[in-house]
Chains A and B, each alone.
Chain A
């Protein structure tokens, strides 16, 4: 396979060279951090008064973690290192849970980000020959604009349609012979279910690849998507605190996401103790942004659970790989004392061909006992018409879930189209235990 690179020197740099870049950039970014109200207060207490206090990469450990709550408390400008006149873009979280968080980018920051996204796209085999339909929302959310500018920089023809309006999405995919999509896995599954209704067949489309991200999903989901569409699906990882998409991306070998270590320092920690864990161990991902000057964020606790692994990839890149996100520290459900992640339930559902791809998890209480109810939809094309088939499907889901998560779930089988469809991030878990 011919491997394409966007910036070959950096992408194929040796570990030593990558670490040298990291150290010099970390020192630079620490100096910018010391211009912000937040880090001005915090870093001197940790013994860091200037970049000269960072002599090796190991000195990173002296820097305290930055939490989501720090971003909220510093709203709107407590983490700003430059003046507004030097800022060219801001992004913000929806703030549905209270105070929003805000991110600032200077012209150079935007340029570094866009280059990382362009690098990610080229690593998947994307090029200026491609037609790119961007189905992520535009606006304050970083997902849409991040990929948009990266794809433009690569030279793709960009269709900035944003999320939703499935009929129109399908029409444009057909009319413009779209090759590449940026989309959430749940919406891509939904589009497949709507193809037949739109009177458009897969043969009339020219899809080659999809960049899937913004919500955790299982390997089973990826495989299902690849089979349904006959395309390659590339996992993408990013978060607005670290600019957005382009933090880690899968290359053409689709064997874990390369985390761009010239742009970020990744660490995996034990979420309870904060201790840094070795490669291969599952824990919370902590990221330091090495290029953003307008708003430096050091050792940010992402709350995403994953592990890092080394080893040269067949693509020649030595940037370590990030595992699939196994869940979020705050997504974890505790059901009758057992820790369960929604991804474990999704894995089971995706293995069962008789049910569709949409699902919801309900948590309720019966007396003191937690009850887990999994709602799924019957897959319309596999229904035999027999009541016994319905019983068998329910039984199989129950048994497989019990084997996987050690909990006896209730399973509700619904007709296709019953469960809500999410065009952005899917809401998979409804916890009603507090209301009971």
Chain B
């Protein structure tokens, strides 16, 4: 499964920059990111090309950070597809703890990145595939 890098940073000027600076110095490419606002602090979540390296270097510089496996699903960029996806999750009682999505322009796909507590079952996988969705691997995400 693809690995999402979460970094806990204070919500004040310069903290996000301190993370991007280190990643730039290490020549690490950020493929996608989002930030969850938590008042005094924020949680930066990102896909990077060398996730293990990025995790180690940030931890070494004293950041509270973690790598987490997440479910990344590719859906055709058409009306109703996100709804179809969430419906499958609902039918199977899968709780989505956190989620963010983004569009890949060239091939008109939407990517939905979900944090869920338990790995999804085989039947959920099958329902997703039947609906025309693709579950991406770590390698897939890196090659986007």
Binding site for B on A (CB under 8 A): 193, 196-197, 378-381, 383-388, 390, 412-418
Assess the B97–A414 pair: CB atoms within 8 A. no
Assess the B60–A414 pair: CB atoms within 8 A. no
Assess the A390–B38 pair: CB atoms within 8 A. yes
Q: Say yes or no: A416-B6 contact (C-beta < 8 A), given A386-B68, A387-B98.
A: no
B66 is contacted by which of A196, A384, A388 (Cβ under 8 Å)?
A384
Task: Determine if B135 is an interface residue (Cβ-Cβ < 8 Å).
Answer: no
Residue of B nearest to A194 (CB): B62
CA distance in complex: A197, B43 (Å): 24
Assess the A388–B9 pair: CB atoms within 8 A. no
Assess the A380–B63 pair: CB atoms within 8 A. yes
Besides A386-B115, A416-B63, A416-B64, 11 other A-B contacts (C-beta < 8 A):
A193-B62, A197-B62, A379-B64, A380-B64, A380-B65, A386-B6, A386-B66, A386-B68, A412-B40, A413-B41, A418-B10
Contact with A along B1-21 (1 / 0, CB 8 A): 000111011100001000000
State how many residues of chain B have any CB contact under 8 Å with chain A. 24
Task: Determine if B59 is an interface residue (Cβ-Cβ < 8 Å).
Answer: yes
Residue of B nearest to A389 (CB): B66
Assess the B59–A380 pair: CB atoms within 8 A. yes
Give 7 A-B contacts (CB < 8 Å), ordered by A residue: A380-B63, A381-B59, A384-B68, A385-B68, A414-B10, A415-B10, A415-B63
Residue of B nearest to A411 (CB): B40
CA distance in complex: A40, B65 (Å): 65
Chain B residues positioned under 8 Å from A418 (CB to CB): 10
Residue of A nearest to B6 (CB): A385
Task: Determine if B108 is an interface residue (Cβ-Cβ < 8 Å).
Answer: no
CA distance in complex: A386, B5 (Å): 11
Chain B residues positioned under 8 Å from A413 (CB to CB): 40-41
Residue of A nearest to B61 (CB): A197
Most chain A CB neighbours (cut-off 10 Å) among B9, B64, B67, B98: B64
Tell me the minimal C-beta distance from A241 to chain B in angstroms: 40
Chain A residues positioned under 8 Å from B8 (CB to CB): 378, 383, 390, 415
Assess the A388–B65 pair: CB atoms within 8 A. no
B65 is contacted by which of A385, A414, A417 (Cβ under 8 Å)?
A385
Sort A-B residue pairs by CB-CB distance and give the 5 closest, nearest first. A385-B66, A385-B6, A383-B64, A380-B64, A378-B64
Task: Determine if B92 is an interface residue (Cβ-Cβ < 8 Å).
Answer: no
Q: Say yes or no: A417-B62 contact (C-beta < 8 A), given A383-B8, A387-B36, A387-B38.
A: yes
Assess the B64–A388 pair: CB atoms within 8 A. no
Q: Say yes or no: A415-B41 contact (C-beta < 8 A), given A378-B8, A384-B66, A385-B67.
A: yes
Chain A residues positioned under 8 Å from B65 (CB to CB): 380, 383, 385
CA distance in complex: A384, B115 (Å): 13
Chain B residues positioned under 8 Å from A196 (CB to CB): 60
Contact with A along B28-58 (1 / 0, CB 8 A): 0000000010101101000000000000000
Tell me the minimal C-beta distance from B96 to chain A in angstroms: 13
Chain A residues positioned under 8 Å from B5 (CB to CB): 385
Chain A residues positioned under 8 Å from B115 (CB to CB): 386
Tell me the minimal C-beta distance from B57 to chain A in angstroms: 12
CA distance in complex: A387, B40 (Å): 13
CA distance in complex: A381, B6 (Å): 13
Tell me the minimal C-beta distance from B90 to chain A in angstroms: 20
Contact with A along B96-115 (1 / 0, CB 8 A): 01100000000000000001
Chain A residues positioned under 8 Å from B4 (CB to CB): 385
CA distance in complex: A273, B62 (Å): 50
CA distance in complex: A414, B97 (Å): 22
CA distance in complex: A383, B43 (Å): 11
Chain B residues positioned under 8 Å from A379 (CB to CB): 64
Contact with A along B105-144 (1 / 0, CB 8 A): 0000000000100000000000000000000000000000
Residue of B nearest to A417 (CB): B62
Q: Say yes or no: A383-B40 contact (C-beta < 8 A), given A197-B60, A418-B10.
A: no
Residue of A nearest to B58 (CB): A380
CA distance in complex: A9, B6 (Å): 63
CA distance in complex: A416, B41 (Å): 12
CA distance in complex: A381, B65 (Å): 8
CA distance in complex: A414, B67 (Å): 19
Chain A residues positioned under 8 Å from B59 (CB to CB): 380-381
Chain B residues positioned under 8 Å from A378 (CB to CB): 8, 64
Chain A residues positioned under 8 Å from B62 (CB to CB): 193, 197, 380, 416-417
Assess the B9–A415 pair: CB atoms within 8 A. yes
Assess the B10–A386 pair: CB atoms within 8 A. no
CA distance in complex: A415, B16 (Å): 12
Chain A residues positioned under 8 Å from B41 (CB to CB): 390, 413-415
Most chain A CB neighbours (cut-off 10 Å) among B10, B60, B65: B10
